[in-house]
Amino acid sequence: MLMTEAQRRRAVRRARIPWSTEVADPRGSRGQRHGHTGLLSLMVVAFACGRVVLRRMEELSADLGRSARRALELPRKVSDSTLYRVLSKQSPKGLRQTVVSFIKGLIASKVIQNDLFRKGVMSLDGKSTWTSTKREVAGAKVSPSGQGGPTTYSFSSLRAVLTSSSARPCMDQELIASKEGESPAFREVFPRVCKNFGKLFRIVTGDAGLTCRENAELVTDNDKYYVFGLKGNQPTLHAAAERAFALCSSVVRARTEERSQGNIIVRELHTHSVHDAPDVDVVGAKQFWQVTQTTRPREGEPTVETRYFISSAPHGFLSPTEQLEVVRLHWGIENGHNWTMDMMLREDDRKPCQASKDAIEVICWLRIIAYNLLAAWRARAPQKDRLPMPWARAMELIRDSLVGSSLEAIIPTLA
């Protein structure tokens, strides 16, 4: 697939990140060869191109074309040691505001829309951001092996993703350090998401780790409806849901069937009112949902998995088909954002700088901006057989657009 001139210009334009004025330059005032935001922008576009190691970022800086250099304000090649020094001293202050400004620009240009579900679904999920058995960083969660093995140090984050958009942009995150958890982080992230993007969504989804009275009340107070998962960590609610469906054989409210990797996957939705379950003490709760997934392989016995959810959506707000669709949209945060961050942007295993908690958080934010840039560009790219462009191909074409302008003066002489 050849890249059009419009695609090339769009990729270079996306490289102009609207950095917040709160993003401070940690370097001294003397001896600066490169603009501060130019260095940060270089790392963002490098992540978006799959160049996740500092040496590969240095190589990309040498290959940039003229228009990309102007957009990034980088007159010359940048060394990997320069990038490391910036990362090791950079404060995360202002990076959240940068993400918000970038997302609002994509919304204004209609790159981000609720094209998958018009009522809007904001999904929140925990994501591992840094793990090491060799380096101890102040503030990290410490997990002893208990069997003489190495101690594990880690950070995770709670991220908010608009899963009702095919771009699945990451709107915000909260880093989770030692002695913290996903549920308290929800109470930090969610009010910010409502303040910045509240008009985009009516439904909030979360795994069982977020299911609690305080979070349900917060969602309800912000005039949103929740769909939270139920598992063994909520024994009373989970048991109430199991009893509700065991005592009453409800009809199948919605059913889907699809083929995936040679398997036939059937999903069925059952619902039950919580009015008949006195054990439920969750603000705004209206229904239990039961989703049964049956996977039928070409050979062998089928497997059945049953999941339970609790929802505050009032009767009639969602049709049964939409209820099943909301559950599937929540899984999109794992299949879309989390998978892409790990497999394409290599968040799980490539750590450009581990000097401190701040450095780790800064890299998290730069990767999120890169993911949003990549997802936005891919959302506008042409499809083939009604399928979006593969992530690897999108990353390759973005790189081509950033280096392509250096060939523009040569190509006419070759024609």
Q: Which residues contact 313 (CB under 8 A, 6 or more apart)?
A: 203, 225, 227, 286, 287, 323
pLDDT in tens, the chain (415 residues): 445 555 555 555 656 899 999 999 999 877 688 999 999 999 999 999 999 999 999 999 999 988 888 888 898 999 999 999 999 999 999 999 999 999 999 999 999 999 999 999 999 999 999 999 999 999 999 988 777 789 999 999 999 999 999 999 999 999 998 878 999 999 999 999 999 999 999 999 999 999 999 999 999 999 999 999 999 888 989 999 998 888 777 789 999 999 888 899 999 999 999 876 667 889 999 999 999 999 999 888 999 999 999 999 999 999 999 999 999 999 989 999 999 999 999 998 889 999 999 999 999 999 999 999 999 999 888 888 888 999 999 999 999 888 875 444 333 333 3
pTM comes to 0.92
Q: Look at residues 386, 322, 379, 397 and name the one whose alpha carbon lies nearest to residue 48.
A: 397
Q: Do 274 and 288 form a contact (C-beta atoms < 8 A)? A: yes
In a domain, 374, yes or no: no
Residues 60 and 187 in one domain: no
Does 309 lie in the same domain as 166? yes
Q: Which of 323, 343, 363 is the last residue of a domain?
A: 343
Dihedrals phi, psi of 285, to nearest 5 degrees:
-60, 135
Do residues 332 and 409 both lie within one domain? no
Q: Are residues 164 and 130 in the same domain?
A: yes
Q: State the number of CA atoms in the 13 A half-sphere of 84 facing the CB.
A: 13
Give the pLDDT confidence score for residue 39 in this predicted structure. 96
Q: Residue 86: what residue type?
A: V
Angle among Cα 78, 84, 89 to the nearest 5 degrees reads: 120
Helix (H, G, I), strand (E, B) or coil at 277: coil
- Which of 412, 409, 375, 411 lies closest to 394 in space, CA to CA? 375
Contact 199, 193 (CB under 8 A): no
Q: Which domain holds residue 318?
A: 95-343
The terminus-to-terminus CA distance of the chain in angstroms comes to: 20
Does any domain span residue 363?
Answer: no
Q: From CA 23, how far away is CA 20, in angstroms rounded? A: 6
> What token pair was written down for 180?
């913290």
Q: Which of 375, 407, 406 is nearest to 61 (CA)?
A: 406
H/E stretch holding 141 reads: strand 141-143
Q: Are residues 121 and 141 both part of a single domain? A: yes
